[in-house]
Amino acid sequence: MTATPAGLLALPYSGRMKPAFTFAIPLAALLLGMPAAAQAASFCAGLDRYPVNPIVGGAPVDLCRVDARAVLLVNTASACGFTPQYEGLEKLHQRYGREGLRVVALPANDFGAQERGSNKQIAEFCQVNYGVTFTVGEKLTTPIRQDPLYAQLMRVSGKAPKWNFHKYLITPDGRVQSFDSDVTPQSRELVQAVETALKAPPR
């Protein structure tokens, strides 16, 4: 990933949206219930920032400092049997984005070498085939198990991605929930988890 300018980027919510919960300190402090002073030993420990440069979906965002009530992070690929889940992820974004859900896809070529395209090709594929408007970041250049953010997600959740379209739901009550690739975006399990996260009071 290339570096992005420092700073917190807020989502432009409006209308019926609930008041936004801001991960105003690195997610680690939230996820482990630690005060801001303990950031160095928390979820984003050693990662004061985790910048994502979108190839789809607007301005750069720092996943350690994102303005949202919950973040759904998904490792994606364009030539996978689970690739049609892009459509379901877009539906989640359309349905819950105004309530504070931030859907973020990070394309990766880790599993089955099923994401071989360039960032330009990936962006075109997502938009033309699935009408994606949520945040799709640049293709990961580091293997997932070596990526610092994923290393923290695996440590906190106790689960590592086994294939493309593994999902992590990062919630404001301090939890990281893990969902295997075969748990679809419209599954009762995931939808209920998202709705519960969005109803949780800000801390």
Q: Is residue 44 annotated as a catalytic residue, yes or no?
A: no
Residue 120 and residue 130: Cα distance in Å, rounded?
15
The beta strand positions in 58-130, using DSSP E, are 61-62, 70-76, 101-107
SS3 32: coil
- The enclosing H or E element of 168 equals strand 167-170
44, 64, 80, 126: which one is catalytic?
80
Dihedral over alpha carbons 127, 2, 94, 195 (to 10 degrees): 140
Residue type, 120: K
Residue type, 94: Q
**Residues involved in catalysis:** 80
